[in-house]
């Protein structure tokens, strides 16, 4: 079933001095918080339910965000499961005086819709790719999550306590 709910959103704001790290750039943890906030807002908007973050995959910090940059954090739905939603999130920044946007960070983030009272997962409206770009992002999300599960399995094997 297709729905007319928005597939995504973009949060825009200025990077603040309180976001700075010792290197004078925005701290990676602040960027991750922005990613989670944009993803959460998009997930709630799509599902109409409270949502929780269950995974972040393929996160890449490709360029720094500078203090006072105009930041745009875009979350776009690229895949749905029965109760889960996967979003491509891009963090872009530029001088507030103008210029080109720079891609700073990107990832896939996964949310599950839950009942606020019981915490049980609830079904989400389904989405199907319509364009070639949609299909590419759908496949990208699938591959990132497969790789993430593989990494989790490897870590579990090496960190499991011996009997």
- Joined together, the tokens standing for residue 118 give 């019981």
pLDDT in tens, 24-82: 899 999 999 999 999 999 999 999 999 999 999 889 999 999 999 999 999 999 999 99
pLDDT confidence band for 147 (50 / 70 / 90): confident
Is 155 contained in some domain?
Answer: yes
SS3 for 145?
helix
Angle, CA 73 vertex, CA 21 and CA 18 arms, to 5°: 25
Number of domains in the chain: 1
Distance, CA of 104 to CA of 87 (rounded, Å): 17
Would you say residue 101 lies in a domain? yes
pTM: 0.89
Determine, yes or no, domain membership for 33. yes
pLDDT in tens, 118-145: 999 999 999 999 999 999 999 998 888 8
In a domain, 1, yes or no: no
Q: Is 20 a member of any domain?
A: yes
Kindly report, residue by residue over 1-19, the tens digit of the pLDDT: 455 789 999 999 999 999 9
| 86: in domain | yes
> d(Cα 51, Cα 16) in Å, to the nearest integer?
27
Range(s) of the domain holding residue 29: 8-159
Give the pLDDT confidence score for residue 148 in this predicted structure: 82
* CA distance linking residue 126 with residue 76, whole number of Å: 14
**Pairwise CA distance, residues 99 & 46, whole Å:** 32
- Identify whether 40 is part of a domain: yes
In a domain, 81, yes or no: yes
> Which CATH number belongs to the domain containing residue 98 in this structure?
3.10.129.10
């Amino acid at each position: 079933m297709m729905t007319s709910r928005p597939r995504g959103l973009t949060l825009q704001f200025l990077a603040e001095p309180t976001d700075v790290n010792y290197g004078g750039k925005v701290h990676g943890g602040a960027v991750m918080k922005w990613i989670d906030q944009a993803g959460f807002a998009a997930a709630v908007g799509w599902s109409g339910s409270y949502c929780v973050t269950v995974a972040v995959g393929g996160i890449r910090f490709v360029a720094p965000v500078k203090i006072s940059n105009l930041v745009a954090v875009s979350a776009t739905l690229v895949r749905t499961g029965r109760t889960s939603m996967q979003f491509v999130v891009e963090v872009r920044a530029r001088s507030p005086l103008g210029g080109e946007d720079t891609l700073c960070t990107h990832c896939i983030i996964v949310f599950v819709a839950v009942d606020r009272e019981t915490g049980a997962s609830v079904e989400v409206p389904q989405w199907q790719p319509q364009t070639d770009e949609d299909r590419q992002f759908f496949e990208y999300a699938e591959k990132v999550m497969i790789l993430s599960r593989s990494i989790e399995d490897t870590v579990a094997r090496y960190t499991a306590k011996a009997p």
